[in-house]
Structure 1
Amino acid sequence: MSTTPSTPEPGTPRPTPRPGDRKRARIDALAEAGAVSDSPGTSLIASAWKRLRRNPVFLVGLAITVAFVVLAVIAPWIAPHDPADNPLVDKLSKQSNPVPGPEPGFPLGADGDGRDLLSRLIVGARQTLVVGVMATLIGLGGGVVLGTLAGAFSGWVDSVIMRAVDVMLSIPSLLLAFSISALAARPSQWTLIVAIAIVQIPIFARLLRGSMLAQRSKDHVLAARALGVKRSAIVLRHMLPNSLGPVIVQATLVLATAIIDAAALSFLGLGNPDDRSPEWGQMLGASQTYFYDYPHLAFYPAICIIVVALGFTLMGESLREALDPKTRR
């Protein structure tokens, strides 16, 4: 036989609450409000992507970067003409027409040697991407090695590496890259890549070293040490993987700097001397002969460099804000 709870008769006075009832009810309400839900958690990458896809700055940078990479990959197939050929050489005249203008089949005209300017800009995107990416990867690899050694070991190893890094950082990056490139007996694309990569090594080394030092005091590292795990395993399995996030984000920003530095060194004549393989900085340097009368020869490669560097910068800054808890919006 079921029973129903009795309800007080109308007009019956309610029981007076005891002194501890109100405090107990407040504690129960706070406990229910702070209860952990059973829904699965969200990883750092998923949480960052959720914010990034609503960030217009990141989307603009991503669109520019993807367009640049795609253009660099398919450049030989979409270029209207061979960048090394000079189909408009017959129209050159040192007095009246040193630089042919736009005409059917040549929407941007030609350079001072009669070569199609549009084709050279398109193919030059590949050379610019190769220099920027290779220099960044080599610099990242060298910085990871030095940063790992400095962050994993203390004492004289850390001191020697960091003093060498401080000396390199005290020299302006472009001046250091210029000095390294000038040491080569014959300038080439690889001397350009190596010079820019060496300049980037101390940036990655110092950043990774700071992240590694922050990982030393983490609970999972202390627990591994207490269990007797070898130092090499702690460094490679616990400290290094958790320290690479800021370094990878920095690589996106450094890639933009590498493209600008490569263009500057090519402009100064320290890049690939073979102009049959065009590169935007090289084209910018070759345009200075005709700059006053034909400024468009410098404008087109310059605007390409600016837009691509801006795309990588916007994307890198957005990634930094999304992954850094202090600047997360």
Structure 2
Amino acid sequence: MVPGTQRGKRIDELADSGSTESDSDGSAGVSLAASAWRRLRRSPTFLVGAGIIVVFVLLALVSPLLAQHDPALRLLEDQVSRADNSIPAPQEGFPLGGDQYGRPLLSRLLLGSQQTLLVALTATVLGLGGGLALGILAGAFGGWVDTVVMRVVDVLLSVPSLLLAVSIGALFQQQSRFTVIIAVATVQVPIFGRLLRGTMLAQRASDHVLAARALGVKQRSVVFRHMLPNALGPVIVQATLMLAVAIIDAAALSFLGLGAADTSTPEWGQMLGSAQNFFDTHPHLAFWPAGCIIVVALGFTLVGESLRDALDPKKRR
């Protein structure tokens, strides 16, 4: 037998045996996503956060079915007394009682979760879209485009996020949930833009991008097929964290009176704002919406931090 052929067969056998051993013990041959998921499944932090998010999303989706009463109807108005500052207490059919107008508190909390999820998710998606546009422009082209985009981002980041959101919300003549979404999304755009720009710049100097350009691949294909997919990991993690920030910012705007003026459709921040005058005598009116906001924001934060740790190469074991 030819020595070269024997050597080739031996190399093939070693390669096959090595791949089999690596796959059997799981020490090699695992993709980044599979490795991250393996670590996430063993993370109590991720499991707690994911459980909170799943419960929140399910409640938001089925809240119209779970709510026993119309949240806009003042079914317990006869039990509201302005003289002795009393409101309806928990009773049969109304587990949490009513608010200061006699409306069912539990039904308002359940349907408020739907509005809170809608505002936070829509604002984050819009902020992510705007940040992707700025990040791609700055990171892919560089030069004067990068300079102009980053100076705009620097101006936006120089203003505290909540103050910027309040300023944007106050610009609208009539307040609504749309104005809250626009204000929260605008605050998120420079955060996503700067993050994507940094990861795109790192990809510009990578070997596979340099090889694609050396082979004459068009700039559009280099950006959207080679650079952008490999730069989205940190942005996705940041989007999970920004969902928690969006919930808090939207609640803050509604608390300050910059949300929807119509209280017939409940929202947690709006409920918290309307309960501030009764905090001394009836603190539960503020406790329930504030508790919901804190728990849900904590869930998204725990998931985001777990994703960041799982995707960080420095923290792999």
**TM > 0.5:** yes
Query: Which letter does structure 2 place at the counterpart of 1:183?
Result: L
**SS of aligned partner of 1:83:** coil
Q: Distance in 2 between matches of 1:87 and 1:81?
A: 9
Gap regions ≥5 residues in structure 1: 1-31
Residue 266 (structure 1) aligned to one of 230, 238, 254? 254
Deviations 1:41-74 (A, max 9, x none): 1111111111100100000000000000010011
Counterpart residue number, 1:287? 275
Q: Distance in 1 between matches of 2:35 and 2:171?
A: 47
**SS of aligned partner of 2:98:** coil
Identity over aligned pairs, percent: 66
Counterpart residue number, 2:19? 37
Q: Quick check: 1:256 aligned with 2:244?
A: yes
Q: Quick check: 1:225 aligned with 2:207?
A: no
Q: Distance in 1 between matches of 2:275 and 2:211?
A: 62
Q: Distance in 2 between matches of 1:153 and 1:275?
A: 47
Query: Which letter does structure 1 place at the counterpart of 2:175?
Result: P
Deviations 1:187-210 (A, max 9, x none): 000000000000000000000001
Q: Is the 8 A contact 1:86 1:113 kept in 2?
A: yes
Query: Which letter does structure 1 place at the counterpart of 2:167?
Result: S
Counterpart residue number, 1:57? 45
The number of aligned residues is: 296
Q: Distance in 1 between matches of 2:280 and 2:170?
A: 29
Counterpart residue number, 1:186? 174
Counterpart residue number, 2:4? none
Q: Quick check: 1:306 aligned with 2:294?
A: yes
Counterpart residue number, 2:312? 324
Deviations 1:86-114 (A, max 9, x none): 11012222113531111111111100110
TM-score scaled to structure 1, two decimals?
Answer: 0.88
Counterpart residue number, 1:247? 235
Counterpart residue number, 2:96? 108
TM-score scaled to structure 2, two decimals?
Answer: 0.91
CA drift at 1:212: 0.4
Query: Which letter does structure 1 place at the counterpart of 2:162?
Result: L
Q: Distance in 2 between matches of 1:299 and 1:250?
A: 29
Counterpart residue number, 1:201? 189
CA drift at 1:155: 1.1
CA drift at 1:36: 4.2
Q: Quick check: 1:144 aligned with 2:132?
A: yes
Counterpart mapping for 1:128-139 below 5 A: 128-139=116-127
Q: Quick check: 1:157 aligned with 2:145?
A: yes
Counterpart residue number, 2:113? 125
Q: Is the 8 A contact 1:188 1:272 kept in 2?
A: yes
Q: Distance in 2 between matches of 1:297 and 1:104?
A: 18
Deviations 1:215-262 (A, max 9, x none): 011111111101111111100111011111110110000000000000
**SS of aligned partner of 2:313:** coil
**SS of aligned partner of 2:275:** helix
Gap regions ≥5 residues in structure 2: 1-13, 24-28
Q: Quick check: 1:89 aligned with 2:71?
A: no
